[in-house]
Each structure stands twice: as C-alpha cells, then as structure tokens.
Amino acid sequence: MNTQTKHQIIDKEAVTGLHFPDVEVLTDKDEIKLRAADLQRCLSLGNLEHHKIKIYFEDDTSSKVVDTTVWGLTDKRVILKQGIVIPINRITKVKF
C-alpha cells in the first residue's frame, strides 16, 4: 500500500451506501494477522471504554477512513453502531 494515499474521511452512516469487492486488499500474510489482532483490540476498546478508532479501508472506488467505535466482530466483518458493517478483507489498517 502506498503510504502517500489520501483517504476520504466519511461518516459511518455513509458506509451503508458503499460497494465492497470480495478481493483482499492486503497481500502480506503478516499484515493480515496484524490486522486481525488490531481489530480484536479495537473490539475490546470499543466495548470496554467506548474508545473511537480510525478504520482505513477501500471500497470499489477509493480509499476511505471512518472514525468510529467497533461494536462487534465476525470472521468476515467489523460491526459498527446501528449494524453498519465493513468487510475485514477491505480494511488496510486501523489506528487506536
């Protein structure tokens, strides 16, 4: 991933109108493992402390970032407030 990529900042409510391809955005297995561990930490921070984090992800058109709280986590999706979901395979990184 290019570190110079500009991410469009969006509200979490706007995520519902996005289209996500099925393709994995990360190619390195270690990055995928790190993302999984980071998402578990985000879930704990969200449930215990209602701590907001930044989720960087890609839809079918561009790179985006959303500042939100993680409410749930499945094998394939991150669940935000109001049942809004982001596919894990489209997340490039998270920041605490």
Question: Which CATH number does the domain housing residue 27 bear?
Answer: 2.30.30
Q: Does any domain span residue 67?
A: yes
Q: Tens of pLDDT along the chain (96 residues)?
A: 444 579 999 999 999 999 999 999 999 999 999 999 999 999 998 888 888 999 999 999 999 999 999 999 999 999 998 999 999 999 999 998
For residues 43 and 53, what is the distance between their CA atoms, to the nearest angstrom?
10
What is the helix (H) or strand (E) element at residue 58, kind and residue range? strand 53-58
The total of structural domains in the chain comes to 1
Give the Cα-Cα-Cα angle 82, 45, 20 (nearest 5 degrees).
Answer: 45
Q: Does any domain span residue 87?
A: yes
State residue 4's pLDDT score. 55
Q: Does any domain span residue 2?
A: no
What is the domain extent for residue 37? 8-95
Q: Does any domain span residue 30?
A: yes
Pairing label, strands 91-95, 70-73: unpaired
Q: Does any domain span residue 3?
A: no
State residue 2's pLDDT score. 47
